[in-house]
Amino acid sequence: MAPFGKIYSYPNNLRVHRALIIADLNGLEIEVPTSFATGQTNKAPEFLAKFPLGKVPAFESADGFYLTESVAIATYIAKSGPKAGQLLGTDAKTQALITQWAFFAEGELFQNGFIPIAMTALKIYPLDEQRFKTHVVGLERDLKYLEVALQGGKKHLVGDKLTLADLTVTSVLYYAFKYLVDAELRKDLPNLVAYIQAFADVPEHKKYYGELELCETRLSGKQS
C-alpha cells in the first residue's frame, strides 16, 4: 500500500511521534524522510514552494495536500482513518474538550515543559536563568492542573478511551518527567505519575518514545 503521506522534520521531534502513533492506530503509513537537514531542506526553494514559512513538522499527502502546524497535522491524520471517532470525539462537547487539551499541550505545557530542557540538556536556546525559572514555576502549575483532572484514577483525559488529548499531553510529559519532574515533585502527583506510566507501558508508545525515564533531580537552570 502506498504511503498516506510524508512528514518532514528533524529527528526525534515529539510532535512527529504523536502523529505517527495516530497513523499506526488508523492503519496509515507515514513516511519521514531521513534526508531532511534543518536549515537546508526547509530553506530550499522547492520546500518553500509547498510550505512558505519553512516550518516543521510539515505534512505532504500522497495526493498533494500540504499542511503545517502539528495539531492540524495530527487532527487530519486522526480524521483519515477508522479511529477518527475515538481520537477526536463524536459530539460537540467531547470534541471541544479534546481540542482544549491539545491547545493546552501545544501552548502552555510545551512552553513550560520543553523550553527549559531546550535551554539546558538540548542546548537549542541560550540559557536564561530567569526564563528557566519562570517556565519551571509554570510547569509546576500545569502539573497540578493535570493532577486534579486525573482525580479518581482516570486513565484518560477525555472519556474512557485514548484520544488526541492524551497523545498531545503525554508527548510533552515524556520529556518533562525525564528532565524536570523530579522525585520530590512526583510525591504530590500520584494520579499523573500513574497516568504517564500506563502510557509508557503501551508498545506503540515505546516504539517512538522509548522507555519512560524518571529523573531523581531536575535540571539546573543556573549558569555553570
Q: Could you tell me the residue ranges of all domains in the chain?
A: 5-85, 89-209
The pLDDT of residue 49 is 97
The pLDDT of residue 1 is 61
Q: Is the pLDDT of residue 224 over 80?
A: no
pLDDT digits (tens, 9 = 90+) for 32-54: 999 999 999 999 999 999 999 99
Largest Cα–Cα separation, the chain: 53
4, 60 in Cβ contact below 8 A? no
Mean pLDDT of 1-27: 93
- Residues 201, 44: Cα–Cα separation, whole Å: 40
Q: Is the pLDDT of residue 223 over 90?
A: no
Q: Is the pLDDT of residue 91 over 70?
A: yes
Q: Is the pLDDT of residue 63 over 80?
A: yes
Here the cell at position 48 is: 518553500
With a pLDDT cut of 90, the percent of the chain lying above it is 92
Average pLDDT, the chain: 95
Q: CATH code for 5-85? A: 3.40.30.10
Least confident of 14-28, 152-166, 197-211: 197-211
The pLDDT of residue 78 is 98
**Which ranges in the chain belong to alpha helices (H)?**
14-25, 45-50, 70-79, 84-88, 92-104, 110-119, 129-149, 164-179, 183-186, 190-200, 203-209
Give the helix/strand (H/E) hosting 8. Answer: strand 5-8
The pLDDT of residue 204 is 85
48 CB-side CA count, 13 A: 6
With a pLDDT cut of 70, the percent of the chain lying above it is 99
Q: CATH code for 89-209? A: 1.20.1050.10
Q: Is the pLDDT of residue 124 over 90?
A: no
Mean pLDDT of 81-105: 98
The pLDDT of residue 222 is 80
